[in-house]
Amino acid sequence: MAKKELFVAKQADLPDGERKIVPNGNYEIGVYRVNGELHAYRNVCPHQGGPACEGLLMAKVEEVIAEDKTYQGMRFNHDEMHIVCPWHGWEFDLRTGDMVADRKFRLRKHDVVERDDGIYVVA
């Protein structure tokens, strides 16, 4: 089956930190621009088919442990952003699509192309 490019948006209409969901036949694709990079995934969670790309986009939450092994609280790590499926909270690394708790599960990745002031996803 030949791959096609779907128009997502004009570059100016997808600012940094935003996403757009585009239809493609019987499924959708979530396209994100974060830290100047574009990422696109099929909007289907591998857990139970939930709309993963419609969930929160949030920084990785890390526990802070001191040298003496005492718990110091939690912090957000904005270097690793996560897509959080709204159905059951499965978290996926925005850069790879891997589920962060068990990397054998992942969202299906799509290539994204910027051309002539437009953003296109390869489906």
Q: How many domains does the chain have?
A: 1
Let me know: does 2 contact 9? Beta carbons within 8 Å.
Answer: no
Q: What is the pLDDT of residues 57-86, one digit of tens each?
A: 999 999 999 999 999 999 999 999 999 999
pLDDT number for residue 3 = 83
Rounded average pLDDT over 20-27: 95
Kindly indicate the confidence band of residue 118, based on its pLDDT and cuts at 50, 70 and 90.
very high
pLDDT number for residue 1 = 62
Domain with 75 in it: 5-122
Kindly indicate the confidence band of residue 2, based on its pLDDT and cuts at 50, 70 and 90.
low
- Cα R_g (the chain), whole angstroms: 16
Q: Which residues contact 25 (CB under 8 A, 6 or more apart)?
A: none
pLDDT number for residue 121 = 97
Q: Write the CATH number for 44.
A: 2.102.10.10
Q: What is the pTM of this model?
A: 0.89
Q: Which of 94, 82, 91 is nearest to 45 (CA)?
A: 91
- Residues 14 and 35: their CA atoms lie apart, in Å, by 12
